[in-house]
Amino acid sequence: MKPAWTEQNVAHVGIGGLAGQYYKQNRGHFVTMLRQPEQRLISMYYYYGAVGVFGIDGMSTRAWPYDTESPSLREYADWNAGCTVRQLTMDVPVPCATVPLPTSEDVRVAINVLQQGFAFVGITEQWDLSVCLFRAMFGGQCHSSDFLDTRVGDNSSRSDYDTSELYGWVDIWDGPVYSEALLMFESTRNVYGVDSQWCASFCQGQHDVPH
């Protein structure tokens, strides 16, 4: 028996994609923080649980793509990979829960959107440095609240999630986009001279020195 969908359990599973007119009107002005793909996927699995998927031509109902009623993390990964690529290339309300799955061409397009469409790219795993870099680029004062985790989930962890339940699976679509984000982040940090020492001085004790 497949789960019965209600408004409560289908809400907040993603944001609208950046393709189409919205992207064209705001190209070059977007801001994002990207997370390591497998860590993001595990977090999503714990937070939302398994959800059905929309077909790109019909957003009114969801299909249950899994073979079991309670999909394992590994089974979940097959249908929820490429969330970042979908967000950057699909013009639908909930791209992370919409099929078809990405292609290698979608990955290329997503990387181009990241390069051309975003004024700032931060890295979730380097949150403090990302906040400092944002301030260095766009101004404003650091605040202690900038460095707080204000949405701690029930299964959150200060260390990386254990990926053993993925049995070696990796996100072949989001991986290259995340790698490009890391390169962009490091390049921009070098341009602005933002490192742990600079950050600690600039933010004047508003946060712990990032490692």
Is 175 within a domain? yes
For residue 209, being part of any structural domain is answered with no
Mean pLDDT over the full length of the chain: 85
Residue 64 lies in a domain: yes
User: Do the domain assignments include residue 159?
Assistant: yes
H or E stretch including 54? strand 53-55
Quickly count: other Cβ atoms within 10 Å of residue 112's Cβ: 13
Residue 2 lies inside a defined structural domain of this protein: no
Tens of pLDDT, residues 84-117: 999 999 988 899 999 999 999 999 999 999 999 9
Q: Provide the number of structural domains found in the chain.
A: 1
DSSP 155: T
10 Å CB burial of residue 47 (0-12, 13-18, 19+) is middle
CB 102 within 8 A of CB 82: yes
Distance CA 66, CA 75 (A): 7
- The answer to the question of residue 208 being in a domain is no
Residue 94 inside a domain? The answer is: yes
Give the structural domain span for 114: 7-202
Q: Which residues pair with 53 in a beta bridge?
A: 63
Helical segments of 49-94, H only: 73-80, 83-89
The pTM score is 0.85
> Is 188 a domain residue?
yes
Q: How far apart, in whole angstroms, are the C-alpha atoms of residue 182 and residue 86?
A: 19
Check if the beta carbon of residue 77 is closer than 8 Å to that of residue 39: no
Question: Would you give per-residue pLDDT tens digits along the chain (211 residues)?
Answer: 344 333 333 333 345 778 778 888 899 999 999 999 999 999 999 999 999 999 977 677 899 999 999 999 999 999 999 999 999 999 888 999 999 999 999 999 999 999 999 999 999 999 999 999 999 999 988 877 677 665 665 555 557 999 999 999 999 999 999 999 999 999 999 999 999 999 888 887 554 444 4
Cβ atoms of 113 and 183 within 8 Å: the answer is: no
